[in-house]
Structure 1
Amino acid sequence: MRNRPPTAAPHPAGPLLQYWQAEAVRLREAHWGPLEDRAACQAALRAPADLGVRILARAAWLAEHGELHDRLVQWSVGARWALAVLWLCACLAGIGTAAAVLGQSQVNLALALLGLLGLHALTFLIWLAGWLPGLPDSTALSRLWLWLTRRLVRGPDAALAAQAFLSLLGRARAWKTAIGLISHGAWTAAFLGALATLLLLLSARHYTFHWETTLLSPDVFVGMTRILGSVPGLLGFEAPSDALIAASLGPQPLAAGVQAEWSLWLIGCVLVWGLLPRLLALAACILHLRRRLARLTVDPGLPGWLDLRERLLPTHANLGIDRPAPAIDGAIGPAAPVAAAGGRAAVLAYELGHGLDWPPAQLPDDVVDFGRCDSREDRARIRALLRTPPAHLLFVCDARLTPDRGAAAWLDELRRSCPDLRALCLGGTPERLQAWQDALSHQAVPRISSLDGWLEHIGSVPHD
């Protein structure tokens, strides 16, 4: 992950983005192994003593200091554009359907209703049935939306952003609601385009409306018209009388006033049985989705988060002492944490091997010995001491060993915590010393030649 400059201001993240970042970090670590998160955990430990809050804080730090935050924002923008394109295409499809229905001057009302409302009624029933258990959780529109998003957003972590978002919706039990939002939004756009086209064509051209049948009796169409026109009639879209409905089955065109009544009835049916159900369903999906996402929580039992409990919620700080502290090599007594708080200077030995004379016999009173750093427990102890960092810190390393990525990461973390960090290399061949010099230069950590030189630097020379 690419590190941002230490002075870079973090981007504001809303609650959804915070959980999205945490899920993306969890999936990335599950797929490609743990990230280097020492500084992230140290930052998370400053948050309130709640595991979920600290998991979010750790993920936010990792996302901000890498490229993940920007990738998620980029995917979010691309997903919105894909949704806008999908709804625009739906609107154009509605315009085309209305134009096709009114393509001829003589309009068969049964076929017009089937063309304008038939597929809508079928898909609406399928959406309602989709809430039954055991049915698939995706539709053609949702798959098309994801496909458009993949085409608009490419590059590293694009697939991870999509996977994390879908996983988050699934865990919140909001994926079906999101599918409904996509579908109902598309149908709402289609009906808006269809209604606008109907009004335009019916205002600009002359049409004659009639029913056609070979098998059915006129009473069937009278009853159908009354049922379909019952609710539109409450809104002012009155259907013709029973006699005019029956007369519309004949070959002779009726008066222009009757045709106007039929046109209003057709518009009312499309409005009431098409647009309004989709609008109500869209509003319900939006409210339900917001309520579900507002209840998002961190499940510490998920793989990847379960392993963070001990690091983000140490037992000595939150659950009391349930076992003796591990033995620590080096001269650091029980009063060391107190002495370190607000201290002027401290020394720290990093993975020193046998044969090196450390710690020195005497250190000035204002220089604290942080002991040795040889294990994960040592690092946790030292991070606790660095919550109140000393003004000067001496990093003592074994130059007989080759510096690795762990040493570089530890140096970077110490450099971020302490205002004045310097390094002392003990032992080693010229080649190894040069390797350490290169590693220290890369981290912008000055190297000193001796302990006395460092004491002179901090102004604390011991007196005989």
Structure 2
Amino acid sequence: MRNGPLPPSAHPDSPLLQHWRAEAVRLREAHWGPLEDRAACQAALRGPAQLGPRILARAAWLARHSPLQDCLHQWTLGARWALAALWLATGLAGIAAATAALNPSQGSVNLASALLGLLGLHALTLLIWLISSLPGLQPTTALSRLWLWLTRKIVRGPDAALAAQAFLSLLMRARAWKPAVGLLSHGAWTTAYLGAIPTLIVLLSTRSYTFHWETTLLSPQAFTVFSQWLSSLPRLLGFPSPDYQTVALSMGDTASAAAAIQADWSLWLIGCLLCWGLLPRLLSLAICGVWLRQRIRRLAIDPDLPGWLELRERLLPTHEALGIDKPAPADGPVRTGAQIARTPARHAAVLACELGPDLLWPPAGLPDAIHDLGRCDSREDRQRIRAQIDAAHVLLVCDARLTPDRGTAAWFDELNHACPDLRVLCLGGTTERRQTWQHVLSRQNLQQVPDLNAWLEHIGSSRHD
């Protein structure tokens, strides 16, 4: 746990971070049990009287007062670094593909092979993505698995897997996994073409290449139709469109082809990569970005999910304070907090707080008139005790061999506000441990009693007064 609360952020958290944080808290409680959230629920109850915002506020308080907030931040940074490394690798792959397509060792370029190498896999993966975007199909790509694997290698720690699981669960429930995978895939292909096209321009500007078509079965007319079809989009941007004569001159022996024809083919190849490679990926990237943003804006808390269903009564209590019913009498004395704490109690009770099994309970010599609240060892015990305490003299018996933590201090503070007269009896423990308990109790403004008889005498004197 932190030594103190985090300072308030200068910028409000994004909806994605808010729901991601809430999902991480939900999964953590589902795996390792409920967290101590009394203060978190109190902070959430000060917000809007709606379950969704209160769940988000509770999760924000719990995350900021635990290592979970830092874990989500580290996972975000790790995921960004993994994405940058992945896109850098695809950019280098695009450079290598463009270099291999021009075959620099021979200086002769087969246009059909070059187009197949630079656009074939791209066209196939784009078609697969379009099919997987249909309703009812679940997209998954090697790039997304590689990205998650790289992120796991970068971000390590006990809560790293929890952050990843919460992120994926949130995207799946919001139906945002398809655009997220598309954003990853199209971004990778975009960087690949951003590396391939400049490489082609540099190589074609500094070396001499000859372009030709080679075929055994097809005629020059077939290549003419194919090249004209591919030229439909580049022609709109001013790239040359080869005709039948140009294709015929580029078949077989290319020695007779003029230098101007070779320049036209080089520009045509660049135009094809730009119009059929880069631009479709940029358009798909923009579509996935808008699609993902819309899904994230529609994120909402599902109150029926396990973990959130149990919070309904605590965050939306059936009985809430309705404010001031009528003004207090003007002539009555104003009571201070100390005077309120000494309001006479209706009965007395004893309570064991995480008492060791070797310590006897209830204590020997306990009168029959003293109510035994039993042992308080779990969250369910605390809920039971909250319902049973009714303005009583309470003796809280603690095991001084244990070290009081923040949860214990918060529980003491809650009991101190609920009981008019709360005293503490510490059993066992070394002198150093007892001094630690004394320090914690003094900060809580709680008084200790040396033994049970001293507390019984205190109760008798209070009732006599």
Deviation at 1:399, TM superposition (A): 2.9
Counterpart of 1:95 in structure 2 is 95
Deviation at 1:406, TM superposition (A): 10
- Aligned-partner SS, 2:47: coil
Q: Distance in 2 between matches of 1:50 and 1:250?
A: 76
Counterpart of 1:111 in structure 2 is 113
Deviation at 1:422, TM superposition (A): 12
Q: In the alignment, is the contact (CA less than 8 A) between 1:22 and 1:56 conserved in 2? A: yes
TM-score (norm 2): 0.78
Counterpart of 1:300 in structure 2 is 303
Q: Distance in 1 between matches of 2:427 and 2:242?
A: 103
Counterpart of 1:40 in structure 2 is 40
Deviation at 1:311, TM superposition (A): 0.9
Change (3 A) 1:98 1:356: farther
- 1:261 maps to which of 249, 259, 264: 264
Counterpart of 1:56 in structure 2 is 56
Deviation at 1:10, TM superposition (A): 3.9
Q: Distance in 2 between matches of 1:147 and 1:439?
A: 47
Deviation at 1:120, TM superposition (A): 0.2
Change (3 A) 1:200 1:22: same
- Aligned-partner SS, 1:296: coil
- Of residues 398-407 and 51-60 in structure 1, the stretch that sits farther from structure 2 once superposed is 398-407
Q: In the alignment, is the contact (CA less than 8 A) between 1:94 and 1:190 conserved in 2? A: yes
Deviation at 1:423, TM superposition (A): 8.7
Counterpart of 2:28 in structure 1 is 28
Deviation at 1:314, TM superposition (A): 0.5
Task: Give deviations 1:17-72, integer Å, cap 9, x for gaps.
Answer: 11111000101111111111122112111111111111111111110010000000
Q: Distance in 1 between matches of 2:265 and 2:416?
A: 82
Q: In the alignment, is the contact (CA less than 8 A) between 1:423 and 1:445 conserved in 2? A: no
- 1:9 maps to which of 7, 14, 27: 7
Q: Does 1:376 align with 2:383?
A: yes
Question: Following superposition of structure 1 onto structure 2, how do residues 24-423 of structure 1 map, counting pairs within 5 Å?
Answer: 24-103=24-103, 104-253=106-255, 254-317=257-320, 343-344=337-338, 345-346=340-341, 351-352=350-351, 355=367, 376=383, 379=386, 396-399=394-397, 409=407, 411-413=409-411, 415=413
Counterpart of 2:356 in structure 1 is none
Deviation at 1:462, TM superposition (A): 12
Counterpart of 1:388 in structure 2 is none
Q: Distance in 2 between matches of 1:57 and 1:401?
A: 34
Deviation at 1:409, TM superposition (A): 2.5
Q: Which runs of 5+ in 1 are unaligned?
A: 320-338, 360-372, 386-392, 451-460
1:281 is matched by which residue type in structure 2? S
TM-score (norm 1): 0.78
- Aligned-partner SS, 2:341: strand
- Aligned-partner SS, 2:395: strand
Q: Distance in 1 between matches of 2:421 and 2:4?
A: 21
- Aligned-partner SS, 1:317: coil
- Aligned-partner SS, 2:157: coil
Counterpart of 1:334 in structure 2 is none
1:25 is matched by which residue type in structure 2? V
Q: Supply the RMSD in Å over aligned alpha carbons.
A: 3.9
Q: In the alignment, is the contact (CA less than 8 A) between 1:209 and 1:259 conserved in 2? A: yes
- Of residues 101-110 and 237-246 in structure 1, the stretch that sits farther from structure 2 once superposed is 237-246
Q: In the alignment, is the contact (CA less than 8 A) between 2:415 and 2:422 conserved in 1? A: no
Task: Give deviations 1:148-176, integer Å, cap 9, x for gaps.
Answer: 10011011200000000000100110001
- Of residues 149-158 and 246-255 in structure 1, the stretch that sits farther from structure 2 once superposed is 246-255
Q: Distance in 2 between matches of 1:130 and 1:261?
A: 38
Deviation at 1:247, TM superposition (A): 1.7
Task: Give deviations 1:303-340, integer Å, cap 9, x for gaps.
Answer: 11001111111011299xxxxxxxxxxxxxxxxxxx99
Q: Distance in 1 between matches of 2:271 and 2:310?
A: 60
- Of residues 140-149 and 9-18 in structure 1, the stretch that sits farther from structure 2 once superposed is 9-18
Change (3 A) 1:437 1:268: same
Change (3 A) 1:60 1:405: farther
1:292 is matched by which residue type in structure 2? R
Q: In the alignment, is the contact (CA less than 8 A) between 2:424 and 2:447 conserved in 1? A: no
Q: Which runs of 5+ in 2 are unaligned?
A: 323-332, 352-361, 372-379, 450-461
- Of residues 114-123 and 399-408 in structure 1, the stretch that sits farther from structure 2 once superposed is 399-408
- Aligned-partner SS, 2:214: coil
Q: Distance in 1 between matches of 2:400 and 2:334?
A: 30
Deviation at 1:106, TM superposition (A): 0.8
Q: Distance in 2 between matches of 1:298 and 1:133?
A: 23
Change (3 A) 1:201 1:21: same
- Aligned-partner SS, 2:252: coil
Q: Distance in 2 between matches of 1:196 and 1:395?
A: 82
2:71 is matched by which residue type in structure 1? R
Q: In the alignment, is the contact (CA less than 8 A) between 2:230 and 2:272 conserved in 1? A: yes
1:52 is matched by which residue type in structure 2? G
Change (3 A) 1:279 1:288: same
Counterpart of 2:330 in structure 1 is none
- Aligned-partner SS, 1:398: strand
Q: Distance in 1 between matches of 2:43 and 2:349?
A: 22
Percent identical among aligned pairs is 57
Q: In the alignment, is the contact (CA less than 8 A) between 1:424 and 1:449 conserved in 2? A: no
Change (3 A) 1:201 1:67: same
How many residues matched? 413
